[in-house]
Amino acid sequence: MNPTRSALLAGVRDTVPMLVGAAPFGVIFGTLAIASGIPAWAVLALSALVFAGSSQFVAVSLIGGGAALPVIWLTTFVVNLRHALYSASLLPYVRDLPARWRWPLAFWLTDETYAVVEHHLRAHGTAQGGVWYWLGSSLAMYLNWQLWTVAGVLLGQSVPGLASLGLDFAMVATFAAIVAPQLRQYPVLAAALAAGAVALLARHLPYKLGLMLAALAGVGAGMLAERLAAGRTQEEQA
Amino acid sequence: MTQPLWLAILGMVVVTYGIRLSFLVFGHRLAFPPALQRALRYVPAAVLTALIVPMALAPQGDIDLSLANAYLPGTLVAGAVAFYSRQTLPAIVLGFIAYGVWRWLF
C-alpha cells in the first residue's frame, strides 16, 4: 500500500474509539435540537459548519430559550476557546506546510482528533505521513458526526412530541453526566458551585445573560480555589 | 426562539473557526497567556453547571423542591452514576429512567 494511504487509514483506525464515544452524543444532539423546535436545516448546519459538539448543545439550549445573538456568540467563544490551546500545541508540526493544509486541518480540530493526533505526532513526528494521519482522523470524526446528527434529526422528526415525553430532560442528564466526574477536583467543584448559584439567582435576567455571569463567577471561583489550595500545599511543605 | 437563526449560526462558525485557525495559521504572531490557560480548565464545569442548576431546581421558572419536580431526582441520579462510574452513557440512561419513574409515581 502506498505510504500516504496507509498513514491516512492509520489515523482513521486510531480514531475509532472516539467515533464510538461521539456517536450517542450526535444522536442526542440531533434529536434534542429537533425537539426544541429548531428546523432541520439549522441542526444540520450546526454540525456541518460549526462542528464543535459541546458548543452545539449549549447553543440549542440558548436558542430554544430565546437568548440574544451576542450571548450565543460569546458563549460559543468561551466554550470553544480551548481549541486555541490545541491549535498552539500542534503548530510546530505544520509550521512549514502550505496554507492549503493548515486551513482545513484547523477547521476539523476537535478534542478527539487533538488527543489522537498529538499523541501520534509526539511519538513519530511528521516523518511517516503524519499530516495524512491527522487528515484521516479529522475526516473520520467529521463524517461520523454528520452521520449521527442526521440519525438524530430523523429520530426527532419521526417521534413528534418528544419534548412532552421529557426529552428536554435528556439535555440536563447529558450535561450532569459530563460534569459530575470532574467534581473530584476541589477547584472544579468550587467553579461548579459558584456557577450554579449565580445561574440560579440570575435566571430571570433577559437574553440568558445570567449564563455569562455564572460562567465568569465559576471560572473566578475555580482559579481562587486553585490558588488557595496551592498556598496550603506550600505551607505544609514549609 | 432566537432570530434570525442563520445569523446565530454564522456567528458561531466565525468564532469557532477563528479560534481553531488562531495558532495553526497565524501562530507566529500570537502568544497564549498562562493565566488564560489555567482559566480554561474551569470553563466546561462552569458553563454546564450554569445550564443544569436552573433547569433542575426551577424547571418552570420558580424554585420547585416539591415531589412534582422530576428533573431534580433525575439530575441527581445521572450525576451520581457518572461520579462513581465515570461512564457517561449509563449515567444518562439511568438518570432518564429515574426521571421517568418519578414522573409516573408523582
Structural domain span for residue B93: 41-105
User: Do residues A138 and A43 both lie within one domain?
Assistant: yes
Kindly report each contact of residues B22-25 with a partner whose C-beta sits within 8 Å and lies 24 or more positions away, as own/partner.
Answer: B22/A84, B22/A87, B22/A88, B23/A84, B23/A87, B23/A88, B23/A90, B23/A91, B24/A87, B24/A90, B24/A91, B24/A94, B24/A102, B24/A105, B24/A106, B24/A109, B25/A99, B25/A102, B25/A103, B25/A106
User: Measured between beta carbons, which residues in chain B are less than 8 angstroms from residue A126?
Assistant: none
CB pairs under 8 A between A and B: 276
A179: in domain? no
User: Do residues A199 and A136 both lie within one domain?
Assistant: no
User: Do residues B49 and B72 both lie within one domain?
Assistant: yes
A175: in domain? no
pLDDT in tens, A88-111: 888 888 888 899 999 999 999 998
B23: in domain? yes
> Is A78 close to B49, i.e. CB distance below 8 A?
no
Dihedral sign, Cα of residue A192, residue A197, residue A200, residue A203: negative
User: With 80 as the cut, is the pLDDT of residue A166 above it?
Assistant: no
User: Measured between beta carbons, which residues in chain B are less than 8 angstroms from residue A79?
Assistant: 43-44, 47
User: Do residues A160 and A191 both lie within one domain?
Assistant: no
Q: What value does the mean pLDDT of chain A take?
A: 90
Distance (Å) from the C-alpha of residue B66 to the closest C-alpha of chain A?
17
User: Do residues A157 and A189 both lie within one domain?
Assistant: no
Per-residue pLDDT, A39:
95
pLDDT cut 70: percent of chain A above it: 96
Q: Which of B53, B57, B86, B99 is the mutation pick for testing A, counting most A CBs within 10 A?
A: B53
Dihedral sign, Cα of residue A41, residue A44, residue A46, residue A50: negative
Distance (Å) from the C-alpha of residue B4 to the closest C-alpha of chain A?
9
> Is A42 close to B6, i.e. CB distance below 8 A?
yes
Distance (Å) from the C-alpha of residue A58 to the closest C-alpha of chain B?
8
d(CA A172, CA B75): 7
> Is B54 close to A94, i.e. CB distance below 8 A?
no
Q: Which residues contact A170 (CB under 8 A, 6 or more apart)?
A: A28, A31, A32, B92, B96
User: Do residues B55 and B86 both lie within one domain?
Assistant: yes
A159: in domain? yes
> Is A183 close to B88, i.e. CB distance below 8 A?
no
- The domain total for chain A is 2
User: Do residues B51 and B74 both lie within one domain?
Assistant: yes
d(CA A159, CA A51): 25
- The domain total for chain B is 2
Q: What value does the mean pLDDT of chain B take?
A: 90
- The three cell numbers locating residue A164: 412532552
Q: Which residues contact B99 (CB under 8 A, 6 or more apart)?
A: A166, A169, A173, B70, B71, B73, B74, B77
Residue A224 parent element (H or E): helix A209-237
Q: Write the CA distances from A142 to A12, A49, A50, A118, B72, integer angstroms.
A: 11, 10, 11, 18, 35
pLDDT in tens, A180-223: 999 999 999 999 999 999 999 999 887 778 888 998 999 999 99
SS3 for B36-99 is: HHHHHCCHHHHHHHHHHHHHHHCCCCCCCCCCCCCHHHHHHHHHHHHHHHCCHHHHHHHHHHHH
User: Measured between beta carbons, which residues in chain A are less than 8 angstroms from residue B64?
Assistant: none
Please say which residue of A132, A165, A198 terminates a domain.
Answer: A165
> Is B51 close to A55, i.e. CB distance below 8 A?
no
Structural domain span for residue A202: 185-238
Neighbour tally for B36: CB within 10 Å:
11
pLDDT in tens, A34-59: 988 899 999 999 999 999 998 999 99
Distance (Å) from the C-alpha of residue A107 to the closest C-alpha of chain B?
6
Confidence of residue A28 (pLDDT cuts 50, 70, 90): confident
> Is B100 close to A166, i.e. CB distance below 8 A?
yes
A174: in domain? no
Confidence of residue A238 (pLDDT cuts 50, 70, 90): low
> Is A179 close to B52, i.e. CB distance below 8 A?
yes
**Are A130 and A120 within 8 A, CB to CB?**
yes
User: Do residues B71 and B89 both lie within one domain?
Assistant: yes
User: Do residues A152 and A216 both lie within one domain?
Assistant: no
Confidence of residue A236 (pLDDT cuts 50, 70, 90): low
> Is B12 close to A173, i.e. CB distance below 8 A?
no
Confidence of residue B50 (pLDDT cuts 50, 70, 90): very high
User: Measured between beta carbons, which residues in chain A are less than 8 angstroms from residue B95?
Assistant: 169, 173, 176-177
> Is A103 close to B21, i.e. CB distance below 8 A?
yes
Residue B50 burial class via C-beta count within 10 angstroms: exposed 0-12, middle 13-18, buried 19 and up: buried
User: Do residues A189 and A161 both lie within one domain?
Assistant: no
A149: in domain? yes
User: Measured between beta carbons, which residues in chain A are less than 8 angstroms from residue B25?
Assistant: 99, 102-103, 106
Per-residue pLDDT, A63:
92
B36: in domain? no
User: With 70 as the cut, is the pLDDT of residue B39 above it?
Assistant: yes
